[in-house]
Structure 1
Amino acid sequence: MLSGIHPLLSGPLLAHLDAMGHSDGVVLADAHFPAENLGRRTLVLPGVGTPELLAAVRTVLPLDDEPALDLMAPDGGSTPPVHEELVVAAGATPRLLGRFEFYDAAAEAFLVVRTGETRVYANALLRKGVVT
């Protein structure tokens, strides 16, 4: 245990976040997300919800300039209730991407973390900013 580090931030997750460079992406995905298929590097945190993990990650990860946050949106334009929680946790205005557009962006991300979140469309892609 480290002082001042959110308890959801495991050693492997912190190591990956530290290794990321400016504008590298990290996907925090729900349990339904095809993480192993799309991710170059993957972690699985089955006991964690996506909004909670996003809030924890934001304690150590500065965000890039726009677009700093992408959310997966369902076809038809309806906004899932979990999106409000993700936006609050990120502290950023999101860009909404359709499912397959989000999959394409996720395939380019540095890391994909699949959570235990069971709500659909609870997927967020953050881009790392510069640590000053």
Structure 2
Amino acid sequence: MLRGINPLLSPDLLHALRAMGHGDDIVIADANFPAQSNGRRVLRLDGITATAALEAVLQVMPLDTFVPDPVLTMQVVGNPSDIPPVVAEFQKIVDDVADNPVKIASLERHAFYERARGAFLVVQTGETRLYGNILLKKGVIGS
């Protein structure tokens, strides 16, 4: 056990977050996301919501400040401007926890899958709410 570290951050997840470099992407995915076919590295957090995982990750990982959209979600098929409740909750967490709060942008479903294929890590959660997928670009910690 460690003090000050969210217990949802498993040893494997902490290792992966520390191994990531500036500009690397991490996907926090829902239970329906095709993680094994769209992720080079996949870690599972079964039984954990994507929102809880996002909050834990943002407590220790900086967001990139060198790109316009360091946080992306998947657009609703057939209604790209719709904001599902889980995405609204993602935005609240980014606003409250991120070191660099930003407005979340979105990608069309297949474009999101393509970005996920290049991500450093996909964390598959037990999230059952549809569209509970979010991609974060890691930033730097200044001196």
TM-score, shorter chain, exceeding 0.5: yes
Q: Who is 2:107 aligned against? A: 97
TM-score by length of 1: 0.97
Superposed counterparts of 1:21-40, under 5 Å? 21-40=21-40
Query: Percent of aligned positions with the same letter in both sequences?
Result: 48
Unaligned runs of 5+ in 2: 96-101
Unaligned runs of 5+ in 1: none
Superposed counterparts of 1:59-74, under 5 Å? 59-65=59-65, 66-74=68-76
Aligned residues: 132
Q: Who is 2:57 aligned against? A: 57
Following TM superposition, where does structure 1 have runs of at least 4 consecutive aligned residues deviating by more than 4 angstroms?
A: none
Q: What is the alpha-carbon root mean square deviation over aligned residues? A: 0.8
> Per-residue CA shift, 1:24-68, capped at 9, x if unaligned?
000000000000101100001111000111011000000002211
Instruction: Measure how far apart 1:90 and its partner are.
Output: 2.2
Helix, strand or coil at the partner of 1:63: coil
Instruction: Give yes or no for contact 1:52–1:89 (8 Å, CA) kept in 2.
Output: no
Superposed counterparts of 1:1-132, under 5 Å? 1-65=1-65, 66-75=68-77, 76-77=79-80, 78-91=82-95, 92-132=102-142
